[in-house]
Amino acid sequence: MERTFMLDGLDCPGCAAKIEAEARKISGVTSASVNLLTASLKVTTDGRKDGLLYEAIVSAVHKYEPDIPVFEKTGGNNKRQGSDHSRGRDHGKEGGNHEMARIISGGLLFAAGFVLEKLIDASVVADTGWSSYLLVGLCAVSMAITGYQVLLQALRNIPKGNIFDENFLMSIATIAAFVIGEYPEAAAVMLFYRIGEYFQDYAVGKSRRSIAALTAIRPDRACVIRNGARLELSPEDVGIGERIEVKPGERIPLDGVVVSGESFVDTSALTGEPVPRRTAPETEVLAGSINTSGVLIIETTKTVEDSAVSRILHLVQDADSRKARTEKFITRFAKIYTPVVTSCAFLLAVIPPLLFGGDWSEWIRRGIVFLVVSCPCALVISVPLGFFGGIGASSRNGILIKGSNYLELLANATTVVFDKTGTLTQGVFKVNMIHPARPEGTGENRLLAVAAHAEQFSSHPIAASLKAAHNGACCENLDISEVKEISGKGVKVNLEGGTVLAGNINLMKDEQVTGTAVKGARNMSPEECAAADGGTVVHVAEGGAYMGHIVISDELKEDARNAVKALKQAGVRKTVMLTGDNDQAGRDIAASLGIDEVYTELLPQDKVEKVERLLADETDAHGKRRGTLVFLGDGINDAPVLARSDVGVAMGGLGSDAAVEAADAVIMGDEPSCLAKAIFVAKKTMRIVKQNIVFSLAVKAGVLVLGVAGIASMWFAVFADVGVTVLAVMNSLRLLSRFQN
């Protein structure tokens, strides 16, 4: 059983990781995941102790964040605790202003104390009692204004056994510095720590605002036409099959099909495509798109919960629940690193004076430096923010990535496998050539009519092209029965009492059909036709006799060639195309696009087998993967391959529930080159994450060594903690402001 709890005001990545770990320890909980972007905790239970779960969750949350209100998301009735926001952290813009006011006032007092100390050291101000008291007072008040919440939280955490967190570390460092007479330094530790927290809150808030901006594309009203009257209703109250009116400038509230009216629809918020799409009767439209010109009457095809915009929001909001290996490593690293370094700081402060007669004040100062540097804020904050930025940047460009783990995999993509139809091609088939076996008897019209009638119950695009090409000149009233669709091969039907076959060359072989078709001045067997003709070949047989074949072509997407080229530029070593088409057609398309390998005449299960082999090629003799295999496909038939790949990417997957469920990422538009953009964003994300890790650890290691040697001052320690945190957060924020569509 899955339950979701809202943690109102949670904005600390480190605390989120601790709450997640604590929730997993609760009896009956099988999995737990905190989503910082939506401030929610999702848990899965075995159902045995669900009655006690809420209280256990509240206890787990309040162990680290006692002022965070917790309530369970249960549809209409939300069970709440601690809903008085005034007693906890400040929320929203007003709370941010209060925090900034505290930082500014504390900063001014610190600056005054710092200047006074320098004036006393320079003998500009006499070192008298009043000047010393004023210095102590200025620094103490600055500490109280900026750090009282930190000190209070540290005291609350001690009885809970939650000692080695940033609140405790900063409190001990500040108090110890104050005790040994480092007054401005003591005030600086707390002031700059709060500045770092402010930047953290700002960065998380900016990530949340990007999600909030996305939710704005969900309309809150629909004009429904019922019994000739126009009613303004919530989209939740509109059923499937109802008709809605959308005027120019309005957002389409529900997925549907245009019944009347023509217009241009702006889909940029959904797909990232800047050019509006033309719509006319029978055109499918998606919720969240903007109608830019004419009035449209739309018949709804999905409820609001199943609409494109709802699925987008669901995917983006759940993306944070799937953590990358780097994220998980940093959480585990910080859990071990902080207690170890804190213990070293204590030993550094007491061992030399006790055993070697060192100066207590000097070694305590060195221990404080060590203690301040030990806080892992830069890592536990900047790494999740880097992944937030990557997911947000991707979503703004019409690419939904379901978790930071898939960003990590995409950044290491070495092989990309394409489905052909609907991915690299338009997926709109047209009859190109008709070659009857007996033109003097059968003729092109009869061959096309028999094929169209045999395929009339099929929804496959090839069947649709045959039915569209058939002009009804003959065979209008044929009696059809015993329709049998043979997966990946074609159909077998009873037509006017005789057996008719329509499908690919494998169907002809299975049914032992032989014969020739006239092509120019030559008679050609089905095998020769399949090898010679470009496009998809539909062979037709009646009563065991070969009637001929029909060639159906599918146009390449304009973006397909650019997609393959861009992937090579993004570092992909090998591109592969899988298709059910005949060998000649598949090879022609692969050659025109510059694809490295092509496998043709594949059934859906054959595609899975090919992907398995390609995955084996990416594995060395020791079982270690050399790179990531990405599959780009569309539609229901691709779901098994999407699920088996390292990263399955659904192309235009908003139209296919199966594809969206099976895929790890979804390209909302119709441009395969978006995959290269997603890989580029992923690589940039991983570069920024690695930069933050290396920079943070290098600076901390350097200052720790200098601190032990007595060279690093408290100011070095402050920079190694808060300064590095701020720089790492600002580095992560680059992803939130870059890659705009």
The 3 state secondary structure assigned to 519-568 is ECCEEECHHHHHHHCCCEEEEEEECCEEEEEEEEEEEECCCHHHHHHHHH
Determine contact, residues 300/255, Cβ cutoff 8 Å. Answer: yes
Q: What is the distance between the alpha carbons of residues 664 and 34, in angstroms, rounded to a whole number?
A: 19
> What one-character-per-residue DSSP string does 184-197 give?
HHHHHHHHHHHHHH
Q: Which residue has the tokens 């391959």?
A: 641
Determine contact, residues 479/496, Cβ cutoff 8 Å. Answer: yes
Dihedrals φ, ψ of 542, to 5°? -135, 125
Q: What is the distance between the alpha carbons of residues 139 and 133, in angstroms, rounded to a whole number?
A: 10
Assign 384 to helix, strand or coil.
helix
Q: What is the distance between the alpha carbons of residues 34 and 621, in angstroms, rounded to a whole number?
A: 38
Kindly report the length of the chain: 741
Q: What is the distance between the alpha carbons of residues 588 and 607, in angstroms, rounded to a whole number?
A: 19
Assign 27 to helix, strand or coil.
coil
Q: Which residue has the tokens 């997603």?
A: 678
Q: β-pairing, 628-633 with 413-419?
A: parallel
Q: What is the distance between the alpha carbons of residues 698 and 127, in angstroms, rounded to a whole number?
A: 40
Q: What is the distance between the alpha carbons of residues 160 and 334, in angstroms, rounded to a whole number?
A: 19
Count the Cβ atoms, other than its own, within 10 Å of residue 112: 17
Determine contact, residues 653/286, Cβ cutoff 8 Å. Answer: no
DSSP 86: G
Q: What is the distance between the alpha carbons of residues 488 and 494, in angstroms, rounded to a whole number?
A: 20
- Neighbouring-strand partners of residue 285: 256
Q: Which two tokens stand for residue 407?
A: 């960003």
Q: What is the distance between the alpha carbons of residues 553 and 535, in angstroms, rounded to a whole number?
A: 5
Determine contact, residues 451/444, Cβ cutoff 8 Å. Answer: no
Q: What is the distance between the alpha carbons of residues 139 and 287, in angstroms, rounded to a whole number?
A: 57
Q: What is the distance between the alpha carbons of residues 721 and 372, in angstroms, rounded to a whole number?
A: 7
Assign 223 to helix, strand or coil.
strand
Q: Which two tokens stand for residue 373?
A: 């540097």
Q: Which of 454, 418, 419, 420 is nearest to 553 (CA)?
A: 420
Determine contact, residues 37/385, Cβ cutoff 8 Å. Answer: no
Assign 731 to helix, strand or coil.
helix
Is 419 tagged catalytic? yes
Q: What is the distance between the alpha carbons of residues 253 and 247, in angstroms, rounded to a whole number?
A: 11
Determine contact, residues 30/91, Cβ cutoff 8 Å. Answer: no
Q: Which two tokens stand for residue 274?
A: 């800047």
Determine contact, residues 287/304, Cβ cutoff 8 Å. Answer: yes
Q: What is the distance between the alpha carbons of residues 183 and 113, in angstroms, rounded to a whole number?
A: 8
Q: Which amino acid is residue 680, in one-letter code?
A: F
CA distances from residue 441 to 437, 448, 460, 467, 528 in whole angstroms, order as listed? 9, 14, 29, 22, 22
Q: What is the distance between the alpha carbons of residues 44 and 164, in angstroms, rounded to a whole number?
A: 29
HSE-CB at 719 with a 13 A cutoff on CA atoms is 13
Choosing from 11, 165, 255, 419, which is the catalytic residue?
Answer: 419
Active-site positions read 419
